[in-house]
């Protein structure tokens, strides 16, 4: 005697098959569809399963796939008993069934059923593999073939949808799920089918779904993106669509994963808050301007430096030029057309330099500024202006000049002036957590000029080099002559960091332009080395000079090797 599960949605066929197997002395359990069969298989492991293929809810095809995927059911013999054998022969034989019986006249079918069980008893069931018993009693039906093809096409579309789709009974039993739904749940199909839709959720989320579907009407029920629900660690929306066929009422759930969207929105909001905190805590003043120079944003540091209260600029909309450029330091009018900050909003060119700004109380003060255009889709939509009060620096520079810390020949800072100023700037860099860039320059072959052309020409060559360096670097940079043929430049703006190559290219272009001038007695050639002061691992100014000096000598050696210093060797 064997335990046999019979699955068929046709009540007459089911009754005939059950009674026949019982007369043969077997214990028989029946199920009206695949969903009911899966519920039985949770409690009972039969020896044989007879199943039809075309059934509502979970089909026989899906039932076969689930049985074959569960290790505890691997010894169960599956016998397909269907009337669509001839129309779908190739597919049916691939479902892993032990035998296939065509559903024809039941008197003919009885012999085939008995034959299959006899083979099972004798251990010769493999002899029936690939055969369809009773196929000779049937003929192919064209319309059935078309319907089966349409069903396969539907399944392909269903499993290709990006949205997760599930179908379940009013009691919550899942009988259909596409690939996206399995991915959202993190479950394989064999574990998902016949399980409870409500059990996919936990805690308050489960109760929320139960309450929404407590008495489903005809209208859709929606969990939208304003209050998404948690499923398997993902935030999702669900559209519940009540549906009905001729015999059953069920619910279709269409699920969309909002996790990435919500995560991105949260990260964007966090980034916005972080940017606001940065803008509100930096020591430099920051203005945001539209294309017409109207103020759209101002940070606390800018308000403090200009002596305004937040409510003074609450309306914003004021033109920055009218706020900070009352007039020039000498009292003359300052036309808007002369304003470099306004020009950046017109032509999109980044501008840096020093300016005089005016406070609300009428006092002026020197600033170092950078005006950067805002561009969207290649159109200028505004300008960001950053500025710092350099009053202390100006006073320091004046004090150095008063202390005769300049080089007499070139009017640059001398070694003493540079070392004094550089030491203070390094301390400020550490305090403000900024890095500095130091450029070390050596005038190539100055001895040759002095020996060949005379020291007066040599002095003029040094003055020419000093002027060239001042023209190449920004007004805010510290340019000094350390002595003899050695110069040094300390770049104090972070914009120089990472732009070393561009700085050197600009310097070389200036040198080449100078050498193209006619009637020159000597070619101008400078060897250059760069050192970087890092506030996270600070060093002394002497160490920084040594670092740049070594880089300079490397450059000088390379130029001599390649004969690029402008002289014949």
Q: Where are the domains of the chain?
A: 3-143, 161-261, 283-389, 395-561
Q: What fold does the segment set 3-143 form as a domain?
A: Rossmann fold (3.40.50)
**What are the pLDDT digits (tens) for 188-238?**
888 898 899 999 999 999 999 999 888 777 788 999 988 899 999 999 999
Mean pLDDT value of segment 445-459: 91
Asked if residue 149 has pLDDT above 60, the reply is no
User: How far does CA 9 lie from the centroid of its chain?
Assistant: 51
Which pair of structure tokens corresponds to residue 27? 């214990």
If 0-12 CB within 10 Å is exposed, 13-18 middle and 19+ buried, where does residue 462 land?
buried
Q: 77: Cβ–Cβ under 8 A, 6 or more apart, which residues?
A: 47, 48, 49, 98, 99, 120, 125
CA distance 384 to 32: 73
The pTM score is: 0.43
| The CATH number fitting domain 161-261, selected from 3.30.450.20, 3.50.50.60, 3.40.50.300, 3.40.50.2000 | 3.30.450.20
Pairing of strands 99-102, 132-133: parallel
| The CATH number fitting domain 395-561, selected from 3.30.70.270, 3.40.50.11540, 3.30.479.10, 3.40.50.300 | 3.30.70.270
Cα distances (Å, whole numbers) of residue 192 to 88, 152, 280, 341: 27, 21, 52, 64
**Residue in 5, 194, 28, 189 with CA at minimum distance from that of residue 81:** 5
Query: What's residue 142's pLDDT?
Result: 47
With cut-offs at 50, 70 and 90, classify the pLDDT of residue 143. very low
Question: 65-74, 324-333, 467-476, 519-528: which has the minimum mean pLDDT?
Answer: 324-333
Query: What's residue 254's pLDDT?
Result: 93
Angle between helices 11-23 and 106-122 (to 10 degrees): 50
| The CATH number fitting domain 283-389, selected from 2.60.40.180, 3.40.30.10, 3.30.450.20, 3.20.20.80 | 3.30.450.20
**What are the pLDDT digits (tens) for 82-119?**
877 655 565 666 777 888 888 777 777 888 889 889 88
CA distance 39 to 202: 22
Give me the residue label for tokens 């009352």: 326
**Residue in 95, 237, 104, 225 with CA at minimum distance from that of residue 163:** 237
Query: What's residue 136's pLDDT?
Result: 67
User: How far does CA 328 lie from the centroid of its chain?
Assistant: 47
- What 407-412 contacts at long range (C-beta under 8 Å, 24+ apart), as own/partner pairs, is 407/466, 407/480, 407/481, 409/459, 409/462, 409/463, 409/481, 410/462, 410/463, 410/466, 410/481, 411/466, 412/466, 412/470, 412/479, 412/480, 412/481, 412/487
Query: What's residue 6's pLDDT?
Result: 94
272 C-beta neighbours (distance < 10 Å), count:
10
Question: 411-415, 439-443, 518-522: which has the minimum mean pLDDT?
Answer: 518-522
Mean pLDDT value of segment 181-190: 90
């Amino acid at each position: 005697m064997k335990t046999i599960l019979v699955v068929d949605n046709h009540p007459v066929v089911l009754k005939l098959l059950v009674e026949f197997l019982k007369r043969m002395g077997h214990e028989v359990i029946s199920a009206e569809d695949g969903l009911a069969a899966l519920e039985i298989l949770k409690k009972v492991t039969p020896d044989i399963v007879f199943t039809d293929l075309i059934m509502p809810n979970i089909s026989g095809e899906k039932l076969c796939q689930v049985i074959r995927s569960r290790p505890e059911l691997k010894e169960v013999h599956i016998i397909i008993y269907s009337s669509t054998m001839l129309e779908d022969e190739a597919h049916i034989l691939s479902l892993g069934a032990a035998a296939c019986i065509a559903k024809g006249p039941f008197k003919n079918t009885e012999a085939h059923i008995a034959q299959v069980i006899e083979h099972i008893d004798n251990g010769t069931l493999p002899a029936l593999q690939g055969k369809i018993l009773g196929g000779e009693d049937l003929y192919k039906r064209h319309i059935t073939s078309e319907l089966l093809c349409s069903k396969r096409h539907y399944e392909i579309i269903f499993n290709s949808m990006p949205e997760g789709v599930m179908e379940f009974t009013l009691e919550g039993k899942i009988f259909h799920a596409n690939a996206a739904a399995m991915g959202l749940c993190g479950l394989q199909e064999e574990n998902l089918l016949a399980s409870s839709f409500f059990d996919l959720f936990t805690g308050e989320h489960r109760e929320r779904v139960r309450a929404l579907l407590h008495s489903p009407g005809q209208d859709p029920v929606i969990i939208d993106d304003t209050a998404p629900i948690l499923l398997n660690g993902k935030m999702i929306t669900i559209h519940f669509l009540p549906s009905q066929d001729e015999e059953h009422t069920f619910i279709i759930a269409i699920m969309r994963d909002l996790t990435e969207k919500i995560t991105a929105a949260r990260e964007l909001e966090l980034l916005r808050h972080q940017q606001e905190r940065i803008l509100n805590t930096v020591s430099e003043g920051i203005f945001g301007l539209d294309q017409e120079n109207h103020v759209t944003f101002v940070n606390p540091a800018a308000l403090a430096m200009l002596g305004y209260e937040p409510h003074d600029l609450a309306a914003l909309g004021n033109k920055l030029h009218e706020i900070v450029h009352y007039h020039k330091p000498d009292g003359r009018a300052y036309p808007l057309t002369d304003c470099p900050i306004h020009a950046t909003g017109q032509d999109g060119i980044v501008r840096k330099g020093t300016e005089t700004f005016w406070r609300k109380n009428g006092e002026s003060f020197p600033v170092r500024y950078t005006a950067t255009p805002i561009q969207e889709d290649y159109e200028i939509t505004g300008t960001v202006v950053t500025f710092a009060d350099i009053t202390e620096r100006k006073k320091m520079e004046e004090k150095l000049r008063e202390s005769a810390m300049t080089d007499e020949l070139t009017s640059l800072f001398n070694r003493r002036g540079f070392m004094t100023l550089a030491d203070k700037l390094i301390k400020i860099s550490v305090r403000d957590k900024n890095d500095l860039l130091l450029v070390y320059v050596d005038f190539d072959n100055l001895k040759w000029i002095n020996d060949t052309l005379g020291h007066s020409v040599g002095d003029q060559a040094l003055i020419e080099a000093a002027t060239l360096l001042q023209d190449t670097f920004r007004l805010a940079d510290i340019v000094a002559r350390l002595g003899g043929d050695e110069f040094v430049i300390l770049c104090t703006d972070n914009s120089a960091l990472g732009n070393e190559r561009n700085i050197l290219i600009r310097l070389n272009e200036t040198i080449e332009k100078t050498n193209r001038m006619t009637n020159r007695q000597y070619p101008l050639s400078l060897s250059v080395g760069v050192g970087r002061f890092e506030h996270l691992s600070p060093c002394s100014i002497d160490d920084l000079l040594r670092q740049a000096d070594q880089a300079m000598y490397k450059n000088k050696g390379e130029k001599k090797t390649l004969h690029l210093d402008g002289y014949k060797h």
